[in-house]
């Protein structure tokens, strides 16, 4: 491995300027709002402020699954937060999520509106509220939570580690790409070995764990993330592929992946979702131009 870096960290790090890379212009080492701006409010019980990234679509898949089960209380307005333009730093957004990251949910159906941030917390909140996609018996429920929390702890190595250095960083650093490729392939192998003996992550039931893991690791083996399918030889993970295909075939998953989506085929982007009928092609075309 080449070692061509001459950089020596100073005694004290100071932020001087954007350092290049895809999101450099919005990154700062401080928290808090940057502009005074309220968030819009729709008429449904649940207000979602998000974007169609893997963390965002976990929640829209969950909401579409709940609606498909007949839970009308899961009707939602999905507002698009353009993170590359810094919309997560508005005062309204920061009030709901001091961490300034999508997704964030506001439940207006409770006596006092409840804010929920962190996609794992949102999935668990919705699962408990509607008693759905979370197993009832303690052992299987715990197994679902094991994998839900596994996803929350593991995906930053995939997104913030591998994805960042492979696709977004302004220079290719062999050490960083090697380190995170190794870890991501190890994680895929963890899933592959587990899914060799289990239909879904917690056993025979499709749960919040599958909904959380699918957009990241399902997306990776389907070739949707970072154009890295060939690089990581994802075809080797046949059990993950079998599981990802089964989840991808679900109509609610297809709808959930479209909501707040700004990438891919135009016919698969629904920038905002306010009614079930927004998925109709004609309406979707109109909403795209908003
Ligand atoms: N652990 C958080 C991570 C959320 C997250 O990283 N969101 C990204 C998009 S996927 C974001 O909002 N980035 C904007 C920023 O970093 O300013 C969750 O799962 O909700």
pLDDT per residue over 184-196, tens digit each? 999 999 999 999 9
In the chain, % of residues over pLDDT 70: 92
| Confidence grade of residue 289 (pLDDT, cut at 50, 70, 90) | low
Helix (H) / strand (E) element for 140: namely helix 138-156
Alpha helices in 99-137 (DSSP H): 119-130
Which pLDDT belongs to residue 26? 86
Which residues partner with 114 through β-bridges? Answer: 107
For residue 227, the SS3 value is coil
Vertex 157 angle, CA 169 and 126, to 5° = 120
If one residue of 55, 122, 261 were mutated to test the ligand 1 pocket, choosing by the most ligand atoms within 8 A of its CB, it would be: 55
Which pLDDT belongs to residue 25? 74
pLDDT of residue 19 exceeding 90: no
If one residue of 29, 35, 60, 101 were mutated to test the ligand 1 pocket, choosing by the most ligand atoms within 8 A of its CB, it would be: 101
Look up the CATH number of domain 138-255: 1.20.1050.10
* Domain boundary assignment for the chain: 138-255
Q: Is the CB of 253 under 6 A from ligand 1?
A: no
pLDDT of residue 286 exceeding 60: no
pLDDT of residue 79 exceeding 80: yes
Backbone angles phi, psi at 102, to 5 degrees: -80, 155
Q: Is the CB of 57 under 6 A from ligand 1?
A: no
Give CA–CA dist 17/27, Å, rounded: 10
Radius of gyration (Cα) for the chain, nearest Å?
20
Least confident window among 11-20, 36-45, 71-80, 102-111: 11-20
Mean pLDDT computed over 197-213: 98
Q: What integer best gives the mean pLDDT of the chain?
A: 94
pLDDT of residue 107 exceeding 80: yes
**pLDDT top residue among 27 and 68:** 68
Among residues 110, 97, 2, which one has the least CA distance to residue 51? 97
First to last CA, the chain: 49
Ligand 1 atom closest to 55 (CA): 10
DSSP 8-state secondary structure symbol assigned to residue 23: T
Mean pLDDT computed over 208-237: 98
Handedness of CA 179, 185, 191, 194 (dihedral sign): negative
| Confidence grade of residue 290 (pLDDT, cut at 50, 70, 90) | low
Ligand 1 center to residue 185 CA distance, Å? 22
| Confidence grade of residue 6 (pLDDT, cut at 50, 70, 90) | confident
Which pLDDT belongs to residue 90? 98
In the chain, % of residues over pLDDT 90: 89
């Amino acid at each position: 491995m080449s070692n061509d870096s001459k950089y020596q960290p100073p005694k004290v790090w100071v932020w001087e300027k954007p350092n290049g890379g895809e999101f450099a212009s919005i990154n700062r080492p401080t928290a808090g709002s940057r502009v005074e701006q309220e968030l819009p409010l729709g008429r449904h019980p649940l207000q979602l402020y998000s974007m169609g990234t893997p963390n965002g679509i976990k929640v829209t898949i969950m909401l579409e699954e709940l609606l498909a089960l007949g839970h009308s209380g899961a009707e939602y307005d999905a507002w698009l937060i353009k993170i590359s333009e810094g919309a997560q730093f508005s005062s309204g957004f920061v009030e709901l999520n001091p961490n300034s990251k999508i997704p964030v949910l506001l439940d207006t159906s409770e006596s006092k509106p409840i804010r929920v941030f962190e996609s794992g917390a949102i999935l668990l909140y919705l699962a408990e509220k509607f008693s759905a996609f979370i197993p009832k018996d303690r052992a299987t429920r715990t197994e679902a939570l094991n994998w839900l929390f596994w996803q929350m702890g593991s995906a930053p190595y995939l997104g913030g580690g591998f994805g960042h250095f492979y696709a977004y960083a302004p220079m290719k650093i062999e050490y960083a790409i090697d380190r995170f490729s190794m870890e991501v392939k190890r994680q895929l192998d963890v899933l592959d070995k587990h899914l060799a003996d289990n239909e879904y992550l917690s056993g025979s039931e499709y749960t919040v764990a599958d909904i959380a893991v699918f957009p990241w690791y399902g997306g990776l083996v389907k070739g949707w993330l970072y154009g890295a399918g060939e690089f990581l030889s994802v075809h080797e993970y046949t059990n993950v592929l079998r599981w990802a295909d089964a989840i991808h075939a679900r109509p609610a998953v297809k709808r959930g992946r479209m909501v707040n989506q700004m990438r891919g085929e135009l016919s698969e982007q629904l920038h905002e979702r306010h009614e079930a009928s927004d998925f109709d092609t004609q309406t979707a075309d109109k909403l795209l131009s908003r």
